[in-house]
Amino acid sequence: MGEERRITISVIKADIGSLAGHHKVHPDTMAAASRILAEAKSKGVIIDYYVTHVGDDLELIMTHRKGIDSPEIHGLAWEAFKKATEVAKELGLYAAGQDLLSDAFSGNVRGLGPGVAEMEFVERKSEPIIVFMADKTEPGAFNLPLFKVFADPFTTAGLVIDPRLHGGFKFEILDVFEGKYVVMSAPEEMYDILALIGTPARYVIKRIYRKSDNEIAAVVSSERLNLIAGRYVGKDDPVAIVRAQSGFPAVGEILEAFAFPHLVAGWMRGSHFGPLMPVGLKDAKCTRFDGPPRIVALGFNVSKGRLIGPADLFDDPAFDETRRLAQTIAEYIRRHGPFMPHRLGPEEMEYTTLPEVLEKLKDRFVEAKEYEKRIKPKLRHSALLSGEPHE
């Protein structure tokens, strides 16, 4: 019976071209992708699907029984994106096929450009899930809110008063530069967890498990496009799946973590910090300075693999003040123009024109005057952070 109820949720997204710059997915491209998934559903390849968008990202939500990293499911998504790209090219949409970094599918879309979040579980009697989809930001944007959901009792009261949550959760944290991960427990290792995920450009929450039975609770896409492509091709625009209720945080607790529009990397040309604004689907479009970064939350009940819903969870005046604060933050930080902290630091500008500027100027840098050398720092930045001995 358990195996019959084992379901996989796959959320796979890609920027395949958009209307009027990096603004909004064209409905004809969504229709092209929907036709591919409808045919797959009629053939029994998938149980159900929902096609939507956030900003310039086409989002495919699918249920099936083929498990995580299924070549058949990933191939289906790839076919849907290719068909949507054909339509985008015919319509002359901007950056058609941007996130498809290869012409050939090799059995898995990971590493080819699209972002992927998948989880497999035995369906509960009632299985509420939330699919989060962001635009103009990176996977680390989920670090702060997911930490608050699964480790902060000021956000999730159930960590204190619900015996099923009281034991805490385990965080699988991925080092996207090294391709390694570590699993850490909250609340015991809370400070060590924060020491890592406070650097969201490198350390990304990938999965979260309930400690009492190792049940999957959340998963985040972790693809970094610039690391894959070796050049700037757009921000990563991550997606996440979070299970809710009955042994997991309540829907309201999960959404509460997004009531603060925290600063995330992305926005214009992927090179600026800006507030993450929770919006309904009707406002899932990026305009001002190609932003500010947006996030949508769609709530579903999964019933025998069927997607019941969605509920557009951020389309609610309860988040009006959050959006207003995001507007204020956007106005303030935009006034910095090309200066940090609005513009990302040099380590994040590696795939922009900054290296070219430095290369052009390398022969024009000259030795500082002797008195200026005396104030040259003797500690490397890494030593300041780690406390390691210095020369």
Q: Among all residues, which ones are annotated catalytic?
A: 15, 232, 235
Do 342 and 329 touch, CB atoms closer than 8 A? no
Of 87, 33, 92, the C-alpha closest to 58 is 33
- Assigned token pair, 18: 């958009």
Distance, in Å, from the CA atom of 163 to the CA atom of 141, rounded to the nearest integer, reads 29
Name residues whose C-beta falls within 8 Å of residue 246's C-beta, 6 or more positions apart in sequence.
Answer: 124, 126, 164
- Looking from the CA of 174 toward its CB, the CA atoms found within 13 Å total 18
Q: How far is residue 24 from each of residues 94, 245, 298, 326, 339, measured CA to CA in Å? A: 10, 33, 18, 20, 28
Which residue bears the tokens 């930490």? 147
Name residues whose C-beta falls within 8 Å of residue 162's C-beta, 6 or more positions apart in sequence.
Answer: none
- Assigned token pair, 138: 């990176």
Do 37 and 62 touch, CB atoms closer than 8 A? yes
Name residues whose C-beta falls within 8 Å of residue 219's C-beta, 6 or more positions apart in sequence.
Answer: 117, 118, 119, 206, 207, 208, 240, 241
- Assigned token pair, 297: 């939350």
Distance, in Å, from the CA atom of 84 to the CA atom of 307, rounded to the nearest integer, reads 23
Of 346, 343, 336, the C-alpha closest to 271 is 343
Do 271 and 344 touch, CB atoms closer than 8 A? yes
Q: From the centroid of its chain, how far is CA 166?
A: 27
